[in-house]
Chain A
Amino acid sequence: MKLQRRLPRGSMLMIATVIAGAVGATAGAQGDQTLDGLVRSYMAERGAEPQLAPDSQLCRRYAIDLTGVIPSLRDLDACEGRTAGEMFDHFAAKGPMAHTDGERPYVWINLLKDADHFLFSNSTQFSQVGHIREFRDELRDVYANDASYAGFSRWALQSQMFLNRFPSGADRANASFFLFLGRDSLANEVPVGNMWNGWALRDRSIRASAAESNPDYHVYDYDASRCTSGRALCSATMWGTEGDTPEDVIELMVGSDLFLEATVNRYWERFLGEPLPGVDYPEIRRVLVRGFVAHDHDVNWLIREIATSSVYTQEMMYR
C-alpha cells in the first residue's frame, strides 16, 4: 500500500494501478475456472468440439516447445496412446535443451529469448561471465524449483548484469519495460529513467506539461477500455513521485497488473504463436492472470495451463 500512496492524487491522468496484493487477494475467489474450460465453452457456443491433434503431431509440438528439438524415436514410442497431460509431463521432465547434457539448460524458454533488448550483448558477454552465470542460476530456479517469477524479476532488475548491460536510466527503463511489461520504447519516460539512476524527481511540472502537450506521453495510464487490440496490452500508470528510488520503480513495475498481463501474454505467444486474444476474449487473460497470481507467479503452472488446454492440443490447420 505504500506505493499506492505515492501515486499523485487528483491527477488528470487516469490512475488505476493495482498493486499485486490487491490482485492476489481476489485471485483465489474464482480461480477454479480453467483455460481449457473456457476454450471448450467458446467452441460449445458454436456447436463445436475440440479436435485433438494426432499423437505424433502433438508429440512433436511438445518436444520442440519444451525441449527445443524434434522428438527421438523413443519419445515417439512413449507418446503413443498418451493423454496431452502425460505427453507434457514426459517432455517437461526432460527439461529444455536436455540433449545438450545440461550445458545450456533452462535458458532458451525464458521470457527474454525473443527480446530485442538482449541482455547478452557482444560487449557484456566477454566481461560479465560471472554475472551471466549468476543470472542463469536464478533463472534455473524459476523453472526447476518453481520459484516465483516476480521474485526473479525483482532480482534481475537489480542484478549487476542488468545494470552493467544498460548503464543509463533511459536504457534501463526501455529494456525493463520491454522485457517485463511487454511494452516498447519509453523514450519520453524521463521520470522513470531518472529514478533508475537514483536521481530524485525535482520538477513535477515537467511531467505534467509533457503529458498535456504529448498524447503519447502517458501511454501507461491504465485504462482497460482502451484495450481494443489483441496485441496491445492494457497500459498502467507508472508515475513515480519525488523521492522515489530505483527499488520503488521496480516494485511499481513488478507489482502492477501490466507485469502480470505481459507475462501471461508472452507465454501465450510463445506457445500459441500469436498474441493473446484481446478484447474478444477478455476472460482468457483474466483467468490466466488470476491463476498465475494464485500460484505465486509460477511460470511452470502457466506453461502447463496453456500447453495442455484445447487451444494448444488441437490439430494444426495445414497438415
Chain B
Amino acid sequence: MSTRLYMLGLAALVACTSPLPAAGPDATPDPTAPTPSYDDDTDTRASSDRTLRFYYGPMKIMNGENALFSIGVFTGHDFGGWDYTTPEPTSEAFFDSGNAEGRYYRHCRQLGGCMEHRIPLGRTGFVNTGFVLQLERAVIEACNDTEAFGMFPGNEAPETTTAVDVLRHQYRAAFGALPTDEELELSSVYFEGHLEDPERSDMSALESAGRGHCRALLATNRFLFY
C-alpha cells in the first residue's frame, strides 16, 4: 500500500508540473477543423495528463436504500416496506399500507432518499452529521430487535456457539471476509469485557455482546463503503 501511495503522490506531482492543455474550455473552436465522429479514430484531443486513474477499482458509498436493505439482510430485521404508490406514510389515510409507522421512510429520507420516494431537493449525498445519526438509529433498531437473529450463526440465538464463532460469522456476513488476527483480537477484547458485564439482562450475555458487536460493525465505514 505504501508503494501505491508513493506512486499516487508522484503522479499528482507530475500532473501539477505538466504543461496545461493548449486549448481550454473557453478557447475559440477552429471553424475549419473537421468534426470528430465515432467512426474517426484520429482524435487528437487526448491530453498528456494521464494519471494513475485506472490503478484501482471503484470505491463508493451505499445509498440509503442499499444500506437499509443490507442492514436488514445482515440482522434479519424488517424495517418495514414502502409502497411507491403511497405518497405519505405518516398520513392517517395510509395506516393500512403496512408501513404506518414510517420507519423505512424516515430512515431512507435522511440517508439520502430512496428509490420510489419523493426525495428532498438538496438531499444528502455524503456522510454528514444527519446521515451518521440516522444510520446509528437504523443500526440500533436492527441490532436490538430481539426477534431478529441474522447476526448469529444459524440465524438463531447463540446458545451452543462461542464468541469466536459469532465474531467470524459477523465479520464475514458484514464485510464478506473473515477477520484478520488483529481484528479478531480487538473484537475478542470487546466480547470479554461485555460478557463480564452484559448490557442487557433479558437475554444471554453472549447474545447481548453479539448485538453490541453488531452495532459496532454496521456503523463502520467498512460496511458503508464498497
Using a CB–CB distance below 8 Å, which chain A residues touch chain B?
14, 16, 18, 23, 26-27, 29-30, 39, 42-43, 45-46, 48, 50-51, 53-54, 56-61, 64, 68-73, 76, 97, 99-100, 103-104, 107-108, 113, 116, 118, 120-123, 125-126, 129, 132, 222-229, 232, 257, 271-274, 277, 279-283, 286, 289-290, 310-318
Cα of A76 to Cα of B176 in the assembled complex, Å: 7
- Residue of A43, A59, A273, A312 near B176 (CB, 8 A) is A59
Known: A39-B54, A228-B24. A279 touches B87 (CB 8 A): no
Count chain A CB atoms within 10 A of each CB in B43, B116, B173, B176 and give the residue with the most.
Answer: B176
**Is B38 engaged at the interface, CB distance under 8 Å to the other chain?**
yes
Would A42 and B47 count as touching, CB distance under 8 A?
Answer: no
A56-B116 in contact given A29-B39, A120-B84, A281-B46 (Cβ < 8 Å):
no
Does A125 lie within 8 Å of B4, measured CB to CB?
no
* A56 lies within 8 A of B177 (CB): yes
Which residues of B lie under 8 Å from residue A315 when comparing CB positions?
Answer: 56-57
**Given A43-B54, A271-B58, A73-B172 contact (CB < 8 Å):** yes
Instruction: Contacts A43-B54, A280-B49, A314-B57 given; indicate if A290 touches B38 (C-beta within 8 A).
Output: yes
Q: 9 closest Cβ contacts across the A-B interface? A: A26-B39, A314-B57, A56-B176, A273-B60, A60-B176, A56-B177, A122-B118, A317-B56, A224-B36
Instruction: Let me know if B53 and A316 touch, CB within 8 A.
Output: no
A136: nearest residue on chain B (CB-CB)? B84
Instruction: Determine the chain B residues whose CB is within 8 A of the CB of A97 once the complex forms.
Output: 69
Contact status B21-A312, CB under 8 Å: no
List, in ascending order, chain B residues with CB within 8 A of A69's CB. 66, 69-70, 72-73
- A226 to B118 alpha-carbon distance, docked (Å): 36
Chain B residues in 8 Å Cβ range of A223: 29
Selected contact of B118 from candidates A121, A222, A310, CB within 8 Å: A121
Task: Select one of A26, A129, A228, A311 contacting B38, CB under 8 A.
Answer: A26
* Residue contact A317 to B59, C-beta cutoff 8 Å: yes
A284 to chain B, nearest CB (A): 10
B37 CB contacts on chain A under 8 angstroms: 18, 23, 26
A279 to chain B, nearest CB (A): 5
Q: Which of B39, B50, B117, B172 has the largest number of chain A CB atoms within 10 A? A: B39
Contacts A54-B177, A76-B172, A76-B176 given: A132-B85 contact, CB under 8 Å? yes
Q: Is the CB of A14 within 8 A of B115?
A: no
User: Which of B41, B49, B116: most chain A CB closer than 10 A?
Assistant: B116
B57 partner, pick from A61, A257, A280, beta carbons under 8 A? A61
In the complex the two chains form, what is the Cα distance from A70 to B50 in whole Å?
34
Measured in the bound complex, the distance between the Cα atoms of B27 and A290 in whole Å is 28
Q: Is the CB of B58 within 8 A of A280?
A: no
Using C-beta atoms within 8 Å of the partner chain, give the interface range for chain B: 35 or more
Chain B positions within 8 Å of A, measured between CB atoms, are 4, 21, 23-25, 27, 29-31, 33, 35-39, 41, 43, 45-47, 49-50, 52-60, 62, 65-66, 69-70, 72-74, 81, 84-88, 115-119, 121, 172-177, 225-226
A273 touching B58 in the complex, CB below 8 Å, given contacts A76-B176, A122-B87, A125-B85:
yes
User: Complex formed: what's the CA distance from A312 to B116 in Å?
Assistant: 27
Report the minimum CB–CB distance from B219 to chain A (whole Å): 15
* Smallest CB separation, B186 vs chain A (Å): 17
Instruction: For the complex, give the distance between the alpha carbons of A79 and B20 in Å.
Output: 45
Partner of A228, one of B21, B86, B117: B21
Whether A113 contacts B55 by the Cβ 8 Å rule is no
Residues in chain B near residue A16, CB distance under 8 A: 35
- Bound: A27/B33 CA distance, A: 23
Q: Which residues of A contact B36 (CB under 8 A)?
A: 224-225
A197 to B86, CA, bound (A): 29
Pick the residue among A26, A125, A271, A282 that contacts B87 (CB under 8 A). Answer: A125
A23-B40 Cα distance, complex, nearest whole Å: 11
Instruction: Name the residue on A nearest B35 (C-beta).
Output: A16
A18-B37, A64-B66, A126-B85 known; A272 vs B58 contact (CB < 8 Å): yes
Q: Considering the chains assembled together, what is the distance between the CA atoms of A73 and B154 in angstroms?
A: 11
B59 → chain A closest CB, angstroms:
5
In the complex, what's the smallest C-beta–C-beta distance from A102 to chain B, in angstroms?
13
CB-CB under 8 A from B41, the residues of chain A are 30, 283, 286
Closest Cβ of chain B to A286, distance in Å, is 6
Q: Which residue of B lies closest to A110 (CB)?
A: B115
Counting chain A CB atoms within 10 Å of each CB, the highest count among B27, B47, B57, B88 belongs to B57
Cα distance A232–B53 when bound, in Å? 18
Residue of B nearest to A103 (CB): B81
